[in-house]
Each structure stands twice: as C-alpha cells, then as structure tokens.
Structure 1
Amino acid sequence: MLTAEADKRKTKVVVNTAAGVQALLAWCAKHGAQPAQLHAILEPTGLYHEQAATALPQVRVSLVNPAQARDFAKALALRSKNDALDSYVLARYGQTLSPALWHPAPLHARQLRALLTRREALSKDLLRELNRKEKSQFSPSAPLVDGSIDKAIAFLREQIKQIERAIDQHIDNHPDLKQDCELLNSIPAIGPQAGNAILAVMHNRHIDSAQSLAAYLGVVPVQRQSGSSLNSCARLSKAGPSQVRATLYMAALVGTRHNPHIRALYQRLLKAGKSKKAALGAAMRKLVHLCFGVLKNRIPYQPNYAMNG
C-alpha cells in the first residue's frame, strides 16, 4: 500500500481468494484506508486477476500490462525483482500515471470467452491425439494403446461438437451477441471462428477505436530504428492473444481472394514491391478495421464502400 503522497509504504501478503481480498481490505481499513479511498493496481495474469478484481466492488481498479510495468520499473532504475518490489512498482505506476479504471465485462460475455477458450483447448488436445494416431502407424504399438487413442479422438470430437452447439446457442440467447455476430459474419472471409473470436474480444474489453483493436491483437507494425546502426524492417508486434491472431491470419488468406477490400489492398502492396508476408500483415490489419467498422456503424459489410484499397 502506497499513500497518495508516495511517502508511506506498507506491504501485506494475502492469498488470491475472496477471503484473502476481504482480509486485505480489513488490513487497509486498520491502517486508515477505506475501500472508497483505495485505487488497486493489478497486473493481469491470464484469468487469475479477475477473482481479486471482481471482489473489490467499492474499490477503483486498474489493470496494467506486464510489459508496461517492467518498463516503468526500468524508468525507476529498479534492477531487482521480487513480490514486494513488484507491488511497489505497480503502486508507483498507479500513483504517477493514474491509469484508466477497469470495469468487469458482462457475465454473458465472460461465459462466451470461457466457451471459446474451452473449444480451443479441446481442439489442441484432439490435434495431439491425431498426431499420436499417425505416429502409431509407423511404429508397432500395443492394441490397448491404439484403442485408447481411438477412444480419446472420438470423445474429443464429440466434446468439440457439444461446445460448438453451446457457443451457437449462447450467442442466439443474447441479442447483443447475436446482432454483432451477424454484422461480423457479413464480412467476406470472416467465418464462425474468426467472428466469434472478435466478438469475444469486443465484448470483454473496452476498445474504442479500430487502431486500439489492431494494437491489442498484435497486428500493428513496429520498427526498431536508431541512427545507422539499428534499422530493422517493420514487423507485426504480435502482442495480445496469439490464437485470435492465428485465426485472423487464416481469415486474411481467404480475404485476399474473396474480400474486395482485402484483395485490392493485398494486390496493391505486392505491386508496390512489398513482400507477401508484409502484404498479408496489412491484410490482417485491414480485416480488423473492417470488423470494428461494421460493429461501430451498425451496418453490414458494404463491398463497394470506399474502394481505395
């Protein structure tokens, strides 16, 4: 805990449970800080931060990107790293920069995200079992092993079907999700997987511009240049969720053939001498902008709108 003047610093270790959060609030109150006076700065770690964040209804909460926290620590000339020091860095970050407040996504949006995450996990498990099945054909294996693999494959395929049905039903049951899904699917190259992935991102995060969405998904170019000694080619930042980016990559490939805007941009960049990799990265970014555009304007995709590539 750091006072607003940053002149008093206290630490308390609690477990990441609802009871632990209540113990922390009681400790803060003991030191004269009531919930309404607190501004909690958290570093998101997967989904583990959500329990603490949602257990602080009367406390202002902000989430700080781990990379930004590390850079801020370097700016403070802090070289060591431990839990106490990390908490101090986050407190100083909040005291100095006053980051935007975090608000939990609606329950149905978080449930959609959970369903998509589960489908992704099951798909990865299925791919592993299929690889084991393929390897077993090139090496003698016990019948029990072959049978176990076959049962696992059948089970995972059925589980994926159930999850996909649940995803479709969940979207149909919530008008805001259904309307946005229809808008996204109106874009050529945006199929169910890419559309649902973008849908989950937009409904679980506060994103107010196409540029912010592209930056979050890691499809903006970054360049390292300094004088004549450092001048690397611009590359995608590849920040944010890699699975969504992989889905966008496949969608962009389809878009270079079937989406008028994506195809025009891709061909124009190739004619300008850009590599296929760079042109495809730009196509991914354009696709993200199209997704944000239909959601913001509440109008389905228009093939002839501003056809300038």
Structure 2
Amino acid sequence: KIWLDVATYPVSDKQKVPNNADGWQTLADWLERQGIGRVGIEASGGYERDVIAYLHQRGFEVVLLQPRQVRAFGLYKLRRAKNDQLGAALIAECAARSDARCHAPDSRLIAFGEWLLFIEQIEADIACLKTRRERFTDRRILEEIDRSIGELKSRCKAQLALLQAAVREHDDLARKLDLIESIDGIGIRTALTLVILMPELGRVDREEIAALT
C-alpha cells in the first residue's frame, strides 16, 4: 500500500493516510479542519495525479513541486530530509513560500498518459529482446526472438497510430501537436510525449519549460 505523509506549516501537525479514495477524503477533511486551503505535493511519477484531482474537486489550491525544487529549497534552508515526515514538512514550507500553483488535471491527458505508458512498455520489451538476442547464436532461437520483436514493433506502431488519432480528436491538442511536430528534429513520437506529459506547454515561459523538461 502507498501512503501519503502530510505535514502543515507553520504549525507542524502531521498526518499519514493511504493514497486511495478513502485516504484522500480523510486528508481533505483533516485539512479543512485545520483551515488549510493551499496544498503542496511533490511529483512522484504519476502517483500524485489522483490525489491532486480529488483535492481540486474539494476546492483546494494545489502546488505541484518537482523533486529538484524541494531539494534546492532544503539546501537553501540548510535542511536535509531524513525521513518521509521531515520531507513532508519541507514540502509544506516550500509550498507556502512558492507563488506557483497547479492547474486542475486534464482527464484526457491522464487517460492518454496511461496509453503512452503502455507504448513505452512495449518499447522496453523490444529493447529487452534485442539485448537478449546478443547472447545467442542458434538460428532457431534467433528466429524466434526476431519474430517476437517483429510482432511487438507492429503492435507498437499500431498503438502509436491509434493514440495519435485519439489525441487529434481534440482540436486544442491537435493544434499543439502540429506546432510541436513542426519543429526540426521532433517527430510524432516525441511530440505526443510532450503534449501528453507536459500540459504546462503554453502556460509558462520557456525558461520554466526548459527546467521542467
């Protein structure tokens, strides 16, 4: 089970809840009782998306912090988090002093993100098979591996085409996709990744986008 460690600032009250629907409700109720309206959450590979969406629905202002931001703030404060609770306290103070905020998650991008992850996993399987292939000389085994690689490549290509078509059904995402793909050296695979995983494009300046990338 994945847990959320929570701390408040400037009064350091602590809470720990599971990262699921029951835990989010418990967290939101607790925050409301504390009179807290602004919440900072550190990005953690997608595990934060659902709780952010729930907190937005409950009317909280959410600040999404990148791990490097939290680390830099910790160095500035001459503090190094030694456990999850200390890390939560650092995130709370960082969010309180930050002027950034997180837009409500786009449900379309959440779904597309899962689809993109599936494609990435297929690509990882292909890379794994190519590495495995280097260990063999038997023609029968090599042919079997090559057949599996070919099947996965076909599946990956088909899924990528379907994902692109699904994204293009939305005019705003299609315009963004075309704009990114028009840049020299960027193909549709990279363009899709940027559109889906970086919703900040078009909202923040180029220095912030470069740092985020």
CA distance in structure 2 between the aligned counterparts of 1:211 and 1:177, rounded to whole angstroms: 22
Could you say which residue in structure 2 is the equivalent of 1:131? 131
Match of 1:48, SS state, is coil
Residue 208 of structure 1: aligned partner: 204
Say whether the 8 Å CA contact 1:105–1:204 is kept in structure 2: no
Match in the other structure for 1:106: 106
In 2, are the aligned partners of 1:2 and 1:9 still within 8 Å (CA)? yes
TM-score, normalization by structure 1: 0.58
CA RMSD of aligned residues (A): 2.6
Identity %: 23
- Decide whether aligned partners of structure 1 residues 10 and 183 sit closer, same or farther in structure 2, where only a CA change above 3 A counts: closer
CA 1:65 to 1:184, structure 2 compared with 1: closer, same or farther past 3 Å?
Answer: closer
SS at 1:102's partner residue? coil
Q: Distance in 2 between matches of 1:123 and 1:51?
A: 26
Structure 1's 150 and 186: CA in aligned 2 closer, same or farther, altered over 3 A? closer
Q: Distance in 2 between matches of 1:130 and 1:191?
A: 23
- Give me the whole-angstrom Cα distance separating, in 1, the residues matched to 2:84 and 2:37: 20
Aligned mate of 1:159, from 155, 161, 164: 155
Q: 1:190: how far off?
A: 3.0
Question: Do residues 90 (structure 1) and 91 (structure 2) align?
Answer: yes
Larger radius of gyration: 1
Q: Which moved more, 1:173-182 or 1:190-199?
A: 190-199
Task: Determine the structure 1 residue equivalent to 2:193.
Answer: 197
Match of 2:51 in 1: 52
Alignment of 1:1-309 (within 5 A): 1-3=7-9, 6=10, 8-29=11-32, 32-34=33-35, 37-56=36-55, 57=57, 58-79=59-80, 81-95=82-96, 97-137=97-137, 149-150=145-146, 152-203=148-199, 207-217=203-213
Report how far residue 39 of structure 1 moved. Answer: 1.3
Structure 2 Cα separation of the partners of residues 209 and 92 of structure 1: 25
Partner deviation per Cα, 1:18-48 (whole Å, 9 max, x = no partner): 211111223344xx325xx421111110101
Higher mean Cα deviation, 72-81 or 117-126? 72-81
- Structure with bigger strand share is 2
Q: Is the 8 A contact 2:81 2:87 kept in 1?
A: no
Q: CA 1:61–1:126 in 2, change beyond 3 Å: closer, same or farther? A: same
Q: How many residues are paired up?
A: 205
| Shift in CA distance, 182/205, structure 1 to aligned 2, threshold 3 Å | closer
Q: Distance in 2 between matches of 1:93 and 1:44?
A: 13
Aligned to 1:282: none
Summarize the Cα distance change of 1:23–1:158 in structure 2 as closer, same or farther, 3 Å threshold: same
Note the C-alpha offset of 1:113.
3.2
Cα distance, 1:151 vs. partner? 5.3
Give yes or no for contact 1:105–1:205 (8 Å, CA) kept in 2. Answer: no
Cα deviation, residue 171, structure 1: 2.5
